[in-house]
Every structure is written in C-alpha cells, then in structure tokens.
Structure 1
Amino acid sequence: MTNLELQAYRRFLMLKVPEASEYIGKTDASTWHEWENGSIPVPESVANVMQELKKLRSDKINIIINSINDRVGSNTIRYFMTYAEFKKVNPDLDVIQWRLHQSIATELYFRGLEKLC
C-alpha cells in the first residue's frame, strides 16, 4: 500500500490520525504521519487491516441494502455525533467500529437509501 492509498483509506473510514495510529498501527501519530507522507513504507500489517476494514464496511453496506426492501417503516440509520453516544448504545465496540459505522451511515445517506437520525 502506498502512502497516498493509506491516507485515502483512513479518510474513507473517517479515522483521525491519532485513532488510526493507536488502534490500527499500534504506534504514535508521528509514525503514522511518516507513513502517510511517504517518509517510511506502510507496514504490510497496517495495509492488511485497512483492507479488511474496507471489506467489512462493504459487506455491512450490502447487508443493509439487501434488507431495506424487507423493512417496515422508514429507513433510518443512527448517526452518533460522539464516541460517547455510540458507546452508550454499543458498549462492547471500540472507536474503530464507531468510525466504521459513521462511514457506512454517511454513504447510505448520500445514496438516498437511509435517513440519519
């Protein structure tokens, strides 16, 4: 994975550098910045996790889209403005899962498939 691809993945998944560096890279933000600016190569383990998260995101979106026609009532997806709000509803999930959820909710909203609530 190139430095530009890493940055694109991080932004696509709505991750901040401190979140990505801590939870994915298991390093500090300055090292993550070095990966993104191309000073040092992106570790294969980090590239693999980012690709797995992208696949998980795609799989979850497909599950939601496939279930939309079977729903009764309006199509809404919760958008959590803060991690604390997300954690109240999903106590077992971490910040990466929160950002993944926000990324999914945003895409579904902009596709016109879900309303945010």
Structure 2
Amino acid sequence: MLKGLRRLFFFTVPEAARFITTSHDTPQGTSEQRWREWENGESPIPESLIVRMKELNEWRSLALDATADNIRIQMREKGGAPKAIFVIWYDTLDDWMTLPKRDPVMWRLQQSVCAALLGTFDTVKLVRFDMANYQNWLSGREDSEALRAEWASTQQ
C-alpha cells in the first residue's frame, strides 16, 4: 500500500521520506532507510503516516474530481471540448516553491494530478513553467495562481 501510493503521488523514496513525514516533531522528515523499512514491511507503518497518506490521497482525488468537473462544465457550456485546457507543469521543487506559501509536499501531488488529467482529457496541454518567461510576461504585476493560469493559456 505505502509503495503504491508513493508512486501514485510521484514521490521518490528520498522525497517521500523528507516531505511526507515532515511534522512539528520531525521538521526534516525521516530517513530514506526508515521509509524503505516501512515499504518493505520490515517495520510497522506509523499510524500518523497512514493517516497522512490517506489525507494526501483524498486531496488528490478531490483535485482530480474538481478539475474534471470544471472541464466537463466548460465542455457543456461551449457545446463541445475546448480546443485546449492548459495546466502548468513544474519540473522542479524550486519552480513550485516560487509562489509563496506553497507546501513542498504538494509539488509531486500536483504532478500526479496533471498526469491523470493528461491521460483523461485529450484537450489537456501541459505547459512547462518557465520562470524567466513568466516574469517577463508578468510585467511587474503581483504573482498569483490566477495569473499563472492566464500565462499558461498564452504559451502555445
């Protein structure tokens, strides 16, 4: 179960150990070795990690459902599939973290959602985030999720 969810969420073992297990008590997460022991059944998985994985899976499911519903609404309102629906792909954690108050653990989950949308809707187009290009386009405006989505729609 743990390994399957980690892979579904697009995390490597080092990333999962660092980000998923981060808490007030363990700000640096856990060791890769400990994570591997949990995945291999050599140590019992802590209840707090089981709860965390369920929460992350629930977030992923809700994000997929909400986005898919949004796409279907657009399709109904426009009488068919839109020409393209642009979704930003963040190659690196550093790119993901350029918007303040982002949680590092959500970077890989966002990639997982993007991949699922790409596999579900032919009209979904991934736009690789390019900070230099984006900042040039932004022209001094204050960065936001909405402006990033607008920028993505201009990257054809």
Q: Secondary structure at the match of 2:106?
A: helix
Q: 1:1-117, aligned counterparts within 5 Å?
A: 5-25=1-21, 26-68=29-71, 69-70=73-74, 74-88=84-98, 90-112=99-121, 114-117=124-127
Q: Secondary structure at the match of 1:78?
A: strand
TM-score of the pair, normalised by structure 2? 0.66
> Aligned-pair distance for 1:37?
1.0
TM-score of the pair, normalised by structure 1? 0.87
Indicate the percent of aligned positions where both proteins have the same amino acid.
Answer: 32
CA distance in 2 between partners of 1:98 and 1:84 (Å) = 10
Structure 1: tracts of 5 or more residues without a match: none
> Aligned-pair distance for 1:94?
2.5
Structure with more of its chain in helix, by fraction: 1
Assess if the C-alpha contact under 8 Å between 1:15 and 1:96 holds in 2: no
Of residues 52-61 and 19-28 in structure 1, the stretch that sits farther from structure 2 once superposed is: 19-28
CA distance in 1 between partners of 2:52 and 2:68 (Å) = 24
Structure 2: tracts of 5 or more residues without a match: 22-28, 128-156
CA distance in 2 between partners of 1:115 and 1:86 (Å) = 18
CA distance in 2 between partners of 1:67 and 1:59 (Å) = 12
What is the root-mean-square deviation in Å for CA atoms of aligned residues? 1.7
Larger-Rg structure: 2
> Aligned-pair distance for 1:91?
2.5
Tell which has more relative contact order, 1 or 2 (C-alpha 8 A, sep 6+): 1
